Homo-oligomer: A and B are copies of this chain.
Amino acid sequence: MRMEYVHGYSAEEGTRLTDQAATLTELLHADTRYPPGSQVLEAGCGIGAQTVILAGNSPRATFTSVDVSAESLAEAERQVLEAGITNVSFRQADIFDLPYVSAHFDHVFVCFVLEHLPNPAGALAALMRVLKPGGSITVIEGDHGSAYFHPDSEHARRAIQCLVDLQRQAGGDSLIGRRLYPLLVQAGYRDVTVSPRMVYADATRPALVDGFTRKTFTAMVEGVGERAVGQGLMDEASWAAGIRDLHRAAEDDGTFCYTFFKAVGLR
Protein backbone atom coordinates (compact mmCIF):
# COMPACT_ATOMS: atom_id res chain seq x y z
CA MET A 1 0.00 0.00 0.00
CA ARG A 2 1.30 3.40 -0.89
CA MET A 3 0.44 6.23 1.46
CA GLU A 4 -0.74 9.43 -0.09
CA TYR A 5 -0.90 12.26 2.35
CA VAL A 6 -2.94 15.35 1.67
CA HIS A 7 -1.05 18.60 1.51
CA GLY A 8 -2.13 21.52 3.68
CA TYR A 9 -3.75 24.67 2.42
CA SER A 10 -2.64 26.97 5.24
CA ALA A 11 0.37 26.99 7.52
CA GLU A 12 -1.72 25.88 10.51
CA GLU A 13 -3.56 23.18 8.57
CA GLY A 14 -0.25 22.12 7.03
CA THR A 15 1.30 21.59 10.45
CA ARG A 16 -1.66 19.58 11.64
CA LEU A 17 -1.61 17.41 8.54
CA THR A 18 2.11 16.83 8.82
CA ASP A 19 1.59 15.86 12.48
CA GLN A 20 -1.02 13.27 11.58
CA ALA A 21 0.93 11.88 8.63
CA ALA A 22 3.77 11.68 11.14
CA THR A 23 1.43 9.76 13.47
CA LEU A 24 1.02 7.03 10.87
CA THR A 25 4.75 6.96 10.11
CA GLU A 26 5.42 6.74 13.84
CA LEU A 27 2.87 3.95 14.19
CA LEU A 28 4.66 1.80 11.61
CA HIS A 29 8.32 2.82 11.85
CA ALA A 30 9.09 4.31 15.27
CA ASP A 31 10.39 1.06 16.75
CA THR A 32 12.72 0.22 13.85
CA ARG A 33 16.17 1.68 14.54
CA TYR A 34 19.40 0.05 13.38
CA PRO A 35 22.74 0.36 15.20
CA PRO A 36 25.52 2.56 13.80
CA GLY A 37 27.61 0.69 11.26
CA SER A 38 25.04 -2.01 10.50
CA GLN A 39 24.36 -3.10 6.93
CA VAL A 40 20.64 -3.20 6.16
CA LEU A 41 18.93 -4.56 3.06
CA GLU A 42 15.64 -2.93 2.11
CA ALA A 43 14.04 -5.48 -0.20
CA GLY A 44 11.52 -4.06 -2.67
CA CYS A 45 11.94 -0.35 -2.02
CA GLY A 46 9.61 0.71 -4.85
CA ILE A 47 9.66 4.48 -5.30
CA GLY A 48 11.36 4.96 -1.93
CA ALA A 49 8.36 6.00 0.18
CA GLN A 50 9.62 3.95 3.14
CA THR A 51 13.33 4.35 2.31
CA VAL A 52 13.34 8.00 3.30
CA ILE A 53 11.77 7.24 6.70
CA LEU A 54 13.82 4.10 7.33
CA ALA A 55 17.22 5.59 6.49
CA GLY A 56 16.31 8.89 8.17
CA ASN A 57 15.55 7.03 11.43
CA SER A 58 18.92 5.23 11.47
CA PRO A 59 21.34 7.81 10.05
CA ARG A 60 24.48 5.87 11.04
CA ALA A 61 23.40 2.56 9.52
CA THR A 62 24.04 1.83 5.83
CA PHE A 63 21.12 0.84 3.63
CA THR A 64 21.05 -1.06 0.36
CA SER A 65 17.66 -0.66 -1.26
CA VAL A 66 16.80 -3.02 -4.09
CA ASP A 67 13.85 -3.26 -6.45
CA VAL A 68 13.12 -5.14 -9.68
CA SER A 69 11.97 -1.97 -11.44
CA ALA A 70 14.62 0.42 -12.77
CA GLU A 71 11.95 3.07 -13.14
CA SER A 72 10.93 2.83 -9.47
CA LEU A 73 14.57 2.88 -8.40
CA ALA A 74 15.18 6.11 -10.31
CA GLU A 75 12.27 7.73 -8.47
CA ALA A 76 13.45 6.32 -5.12
CA GLU A 77 16.93 7.74 -5.75
CA ARG A 78 15.41 11.15 -6.54
CA GLN A 79 13.34 11.09 -3.32
CA VAL A 80 16.30 10.15 -1.15
CA LEU A 81 18.43 12.86 -2.77
CA GLU A 82 15.70 15.43 -2.25
CA ALA A 83 15.43 14.46 1.44
CA GLY A 84 19.18 14.99 1.83
CA ILE A 85 19.71 11.37 2.89
CA THR A 86 23.15 9.97 2.13
CA ASN A 87 23.25 6.51 3.78
CA VAL A 88 21.40 4.62 1.02
CA SER A 89 22.66 2.97 -2.13
CA PHE A 90 20.35 1.50 -4.74
CA ARG A 91 20.61 -1.60 -6.89
CA GLN A 92 18.31 -3.27 -9.35
CA ALA A 93 17.69 -6.83 -8.17
CA ASP A 94 15.13 -9.58 -7.82
CA ILE A 95 14.35 -10.69 -4.25
CA PHE A 96 14.41 -14.32 -5.46
CA ASP A 97 17.87 -13.95 -7.01
CA LEU A 98 19.78 -11.48 -4.87
CA PRO A 99 23.30 -10.58 -6.08
CA TYR A 100 24.85 -10.98 -2.62
CA VAL A 101 26.80 -13.70 -0.92
CA SER A 102 25.15 -15.57 1.92
CA ALA A 103 25.02 -13.82 5.30
CA HIS A 104 25.94 -10.48 3.74
CA PHE A 105 23.54 -8.24 5.69
CA ASP A 106 23.09 -7.54 9.40
CA HIS A 107 19.37 -6.86 8.99
CA VAL A 108 16.61 -7.05 6.38
CA PHE A 109 13.58 -4.77 6.03
CA VAL A 110 10.52 -5.49 3.85
CA CYS A 111 7.48 -3.21 3.71
CA PHE A 112 4.34 -3.55 1.52
CA VAL A 113 6.09 -6.09 -0.73
CA LEU A 114 5.03 -9.63 0.26
CA GLU A 115 1.36 -8.77 -0.44
CA HIS A 116 2.23 -8.57 -4.16
CA LEU A 117 4.19 -11.83 -4.44
CA PRO A 118 2.77 -15.20 -5.54
CA ASN A 119 5.33 -16.89 -3.30
CA PRO A 120 5.90 -14.83 -0.14
CA ALA A 121 7.30 -17.87 1.70
CA GLY A 122 9.95 -18.25 -1.02
CA ALA A 123 10.82 -14.58 -0.73
CA LEU A 124 11.30 -14.91 3.03
CA ALA A 125 13.57 -17.94 2.47
CA ALA A 126 15.61 -16.05 -0.17
CA LEU A 127 16.00 -13.12 2.23
CA MET A 128 17.13 -15.43 5.02
CA ARG A 129 20.03 -16.59 2.85
CA VAL A 130 21.59 -13.10 2.70
CA LEU A 131 20.96 -12.42 6.40
CA LYS A 132 23.66 -13.04 9.01
CA PRO A 133 22.88 -15.57 11.77
CA GLY A 134 21.42 -13.55 14.64
CA GLY A 135 20.36 -10.78 12.28
CA SER A 136 16.76 -9.56 12.16
CA ILE A 137 14.10 -9.36 9.51
CA THR A 138 11.32 -6.78 9.85
CA VAL A 139 8.19 -7.14 7.73
CA ILE A 140 5.32 -4.64 7.53
CA GLU A 141 2.14 -5.45 5.59
CA GLY A 142 -1.47 -4.30 5.53
CA ASP A 143 -4.57 -6.51 5.57
CA HIS A 144 -7.55 -5.30 3.57
CA GLY A 145 -9.85 -7.65 5.46
CA SER A 146 -9.13 -5.56 8.54
CA ALA A 147 -11.03 -2.61 7.07
CA TYR A 148 -14.41 -1.85 8.59
CA PHE A 149 -16.33 1.36 9.08
CA HIS A 150 -19.46 3.17 10.17
CA PRO A 151 -21.95 3.40 8.65
CA ASP A 152 -21.49 -0.21 7.59
CA SER A 153 -22.30 -0.86 3.91
CA GLU A 154 -22.57 -4.07 1.95
CA HIS A 155 -21.69 -2.22 -1.28
CA ALA A 156 -18.54 -0.82 0.28
CA ARG A 157 -17.60 -4.24 1.67
CA ARG A 158 -18.09 -5.75 -1.77
CA ALA A 159 -15.97 -3.04 -3.39
CA ILE A 160 -13.12 -3.82 -0.99
CA GLN A 161 -13.58 -7.52 -1.76
CA CYS A 162 -13.05 -6.68 -5.46
CA LEU A 163 -9.66 -5.21 -4.54
CA VAL A 164 -8.82 -8.41 -2.64
CA ASP A 165 -10.00 -10.59 -5.57
CA LEU A 166 -8.08 -8.57 -8.18
CA GLN A 167 -4.90 -8.67 -6.10
CA ARG A 168 -5.35 -12.44 -5.80
CA GLN A 169 -5.82 -12.70 -9.60
CA ALA A 170 -2.50 -10.87 -9.95
CA GLY A 171 -0.88 -13.47 -7.68
CA GLY A 172 -0.86 -11.41 -4.51
CA ASP A 173 -2.61 -11.63 -1.14
CA SER A 174 -3.97 -8.45 0.37
CA LEU A 175 -5.02 -10.37 3.50
CA ILE A 176 -1.39 -11.19 4.25
CA GLY A 177 -1.06 -9.12 7.44
CA ARG A 178 -2.86 -11.70 9.57
CA ARG A 179 -0.60 -14.51 8.34
CA LEU A 180 2.81 -12.93 8.85
CA TYR A 181 3.32 -15.01 11.98
CA PRO A 182 3.02 -18.45 10.34
CA LEU A 183 4.85 -17.23 7.21
CA LEU A 184 7.93 -16.17 9.16
CA VAL A 185 7.86 -19.23 11.42
CA GLN A 186 7.52 -21.62 8.47
CA ALA A 187 10.37 -19.85 6.64
CA GLY A 188 12.58 -20.77 9.61
CA TYR A 189 12.91 -17.45 11.43
CA ARG A 190 13.03 -17.74 15.21
CA ASP A 191 11.71 -15.56 18.04
CA VAL A 192 9.03 -14.23 15.71
CA THR A 193 6.84 -11.53 17.23
CA VAL A 194 3.97 -9.83 15.45
CA SER A 195 2.34 -6.62 16.58
CA PRO A 196 -0.75 -5.18 14.91
CA ARG A 197 -0.82 -1.42 14.32
CA MET A 198 -4.39 -0.28 14.09
CA VAL A 199 -5.45 2.97 12.45
CA TYR A 200 -8.73 4.38 13.78
CA ALA A 201 -10.09 7.55 12.19
CA ASP A 202 -13.03 9.62 13.39
CA ALA A 203 -13.84 13.35 13.25
CA THR A 204 -11.45 14.11 16.13
CA ARG A 205 -8.61 13.18 13.72
CA PRO A 206 -9.59 15.15 10.59
CA ALA A 207 -6.31 14.83 8.77
CA LEU A 208 -6.24 11.08 9.32
CA VAL A 209 -9.80 10.91 7.96
CA ASP A 210 -8.74 12.89 4.92
CA GLY A 211 -5.24 11.52 4.49
CA PHE A 212 -5.95 7.88 5.26
CA THR A 213 -9.68 7.06 4.95
CA ARG A 214 -10.22 9.20 1.84
CA LYS A 215 -6.91 9.73 0.10
CA THR A 216 -5.17 6.43 0.89
CA PHE A 217 -7.67 3.63 1.39
CA THR A 218 -10.74 4.83 -0.53
CA ALA A 219 -8.51 6.13 -3.34
CA MET A 220 -6.85 2.71 -3.56
CA VAL A 221 -10.24 0.97 -3.87
CA GLU A 222 -11.39 3.54 -6.44
CA GLY A 223 -8.26 2.76 -8.42
CA VAL A 224 -9.50 -0.72 -9.35
CA GLY A 225 -13.01 0.44 -10.29
CA GLU A 226 -12.60 0.07 -14.04
CA ARG A 227 -11.20 -3.45 -13.73
CA ALA A 228 -13.79 -4.53 -11.16
CA VAL A 229 -16.72 -3.30 -13.26
CA GLY A 230 -15.06 -4.36 -16.52
CA GLN A 231 -14.68 -7.93 -15.26
CA GLY A 232 -18.25 -7.93 -13.99
CA LEU A 233 -17.23 -8.37 -10.34
CA MET A 234 -19.72 -5.60 -9.53
CA ASP A 235 -22.16 -3.64 -11.68
CA GLU A 236 -21.46 0.04 -12.16
CA ALA A 237 -24.25 1.31 -9.89
CA SER A 238 -23.29 -0.99 -6.99
CA TRP A 239 -19.65 0.01 -7.41
CA ALA A 240 -20.54 3.71 -7.30
CA ALA A 241 -22.64 3.08 -4.18
CA GLY A 242 -19.70 1.27 -2.56
CA ILE A 243 -17.33 4.17 -3.22
CA ARG A 244 -19.94 6.68 -2.07
CA ASP A 245 -20.37 4.69 1.18
CA LEU A 246 -16.61 4.64 1.80
CA HIS A 247 -16.62 8.43 1.46
CA ARG A 248 -19.66 8.46 3.77
CA ALA A 249 -17.51 6.83 6.48
CA ALA A 250 -15.21 9.87 6.24
CA GLU A 251 -17.99 12.29 7.18
CA ASP A 252 -18.28 13.82 10.66
CA ASP A 253 -20.33 10.99 12.15
CA GLY A 254 -18.41 8.21 10.37
CA THR A 255 -15.51 6.08 11.57
CA PHE A 256 -12.93 3.96 9.75
CA CYS A 257 -10.63 1.17 10.96
CA TYR A 258 -7.65 -0.52 9.31
CA THR A 259 -4.80 -2.59 10.70
CA PHE A 260 -1.19 -3.01 9.61
CA PHE A 261 0.92 -5.87 10.92
CA LYS A 262 4.59 -5.66 11.81
CA ALA A 263 6.61 -8.82 12.28
CA VAL A 264 10.16 -9.20 13.52
CA GLY A 265 12.12 -12.44 13.43
CA LEU A 266 15.73 -13.55 13.78
CA ARG A 267 17.81 -15.80 11.58
Contact = CB atoms under 8 A, between A and B. Distances in A.
Nearest to A178: B150
B253 A182 contact: yes
Nearest to A148: B145
A222 interface: no
A152 B181 CA distance: 14
B150 A179 contact: yes
Interface string A235-264: 000000000000000000111010100000
A140 interface: no
A146 interface: yes
Interface in A163-192: 175, 178-179, 181-182, 185-186, 192
Contact of A204 (B152, B192, B254, B259): B192
A263 to B, nearest CB: 10
Nearest to A204: B193
The winner among A145, A182, A185, A196 for most chain B CB atoms within 10 A is A182
B179 A259 contact: no
A contact residues, range: 20 to 34
A182 B253 CA distance: 5
B257 A196 contact: yes
A23 interface: no
A90 interface: no
Contacts of A148: 143, 145-146, 175, 178
Contact of A149 (B178, B198, B200): B178
A195 interface: yes
A21 interface: no
Contact of A194 (B143, B194, B202): B202
Given A192-B204, A204-B193, A182 B146 contact: no
Contacts of A181: 150, 202-204, 253, 255
24 contacts: A143-B148, A145-B152, A146-B257, A148-B178, A150-B179, A150-B181, A151-B179, A152-B175, A152-B178, A179-B255, A181-B204, A181-B253, A182-B202, A182-B253, A182-B254, A182-B255, A185-B253, A186-B253, A192-B204, A193-B204, A194-B200, A194-B204, A195-B200, A196-B198
Contact of A150 (B151, B182, B195, B202): B182
